[in-house]
Amino acid sequence: MPPQGVHRGLRLSGKNALQNQIDIMLKAYHSDIKPSEITDREIYLKRRQFLQGGAALALGLTLPGCDASEPKPAASPPPTSPKKKLIAAKNEAFSVNETQTSYKDITRYNNFYEFSTDKEGPAKLSKAFVTRPWTIRVDGEVDKPQVFDIEDILKTFPLEERIYRLRCVEAWSMVVPWIGFALADLIKKTGPTSRAKYVAFETLYDPKQMPGQQTGLFGSGLKWPYVEGLRIDEAMHPLTLLSVGLYGEMLPNQNGAPIRLVVPWKYGFKSIKSIVKITLVEKQPPTTWNISAPGEYGFYSNVNPKVPHPRWSQARERRIGEFRKRETLMFNGYADQVASLYTGMDLKKYF
């Protein structure tokens, strides 16, 4: 029960009432509490936050400004490297003449399950992600397996800007001004053998930095590390890009820093992020989403409006930043360049 006299302060109103109530409570408790029994303010605040979070989880609620489904990012994490401008000439032959999605939307609306299953989560939770030093190993069916340092990559391969459409399997899309170079240029450096029929990709596995890779409450349930694959002719196609930046700057962490794949005629999840390994192989490699749900996500995953996802249509899409939906284009609008790769294939069977 409150000490005697506390209720009398409730009869007043406004600021005076609040101050009077506080004064009365202090007088009532002052003589009964020893200084040694007073909880340190910092410990009290931490305990209070813990109890609030626990109550929210127990009730299935989300606190204002909090997401109970994921850990909170560290406060003001130190940057891993300063923002760096990238010099890249625009490649008109590989760019679409469409309104580009805003930098804000591109960097705040992301699927990067290694950090979070929430669209805004990756930007929050990847701030302290360390992208230097970084290396990519290229091995397998090659004559000259190599380990490439990201800084050497930036110096070795001429960068260009390519404005590509990005179509997500979730039926939304963007137009992104990527900066990068053809994947084929990197692969050629290693001398692929005649047995190289496919190219397998692997992202970083580091649960300490990537909370989405953790098991339990904050995990996504996917098998880690994230892996993807292309047929060798798809990988060597001139449209297939290794991106190191966008909008004239180095890739933000949430967009797959420091280097990611971009395959514009396929659904976005094929464009694996934060790559650490590329392996040329003879047989079709496993891919993360195909392992997780083979009936929903095929190996090829070409954008095909005639093949619906089992749970929604792919005939239309929502361009981020626009109100009306638009028709989805075959191969995401790149049919003239890539349709010949699939001549004679049943694209419903090999979806």
Q: What are 186-236's pLDDT values in tens digits?
A: 999 999 999 999 999 999 999 999 999 997 655 678 999 999 999 999 999
CA distance 351 to 343: 14
How far the first Cα of the chain sits from its last, in Å, is 68
- Helix, strand, coil fractions of the chain, as percent rounded to 5: 30, 20, 50
**Single pTM value for the model:** 0.77
Please provide the DSSP assignment of 50-106 as one string: HHHHHHHHHHT---TT--TTSPPPPSSPPPSS---B---EE-GGG---SPPPPHHHH
Query: Measuring CA to CA, which residue among 197, 348, 226, 172 is closest to residue 284?
Result: 197
Q: What are 152-197's pLDDT values in tens digits?
A: 999 999 999 999 999 999 999 999 999 999 999 999 999 999 999 9
For residue 28, what are its two tokens? 């009532």
Amino acid identity, position 10 = L
Amino acid identity, position 179 = I
CA distance 213 to 206: 7
Residues 123/107, Cβ–Cβ less than 8 Å: yes
Show the domains of the chain with their CATH numbers.
89-342 (3.90.420.10)
Please give the pLDDT value at position 282.
98
Within 10 A of 345 (CB to CB), how many other CB atoms are there?
11
Q: Residue written as tokens 């970084």?
A: 134
Q: What are 258-308's pLDDT values in tens digits?
A: 999 999 999 999 999 999 999 999 999 999 999 999 999 999 999 999 999
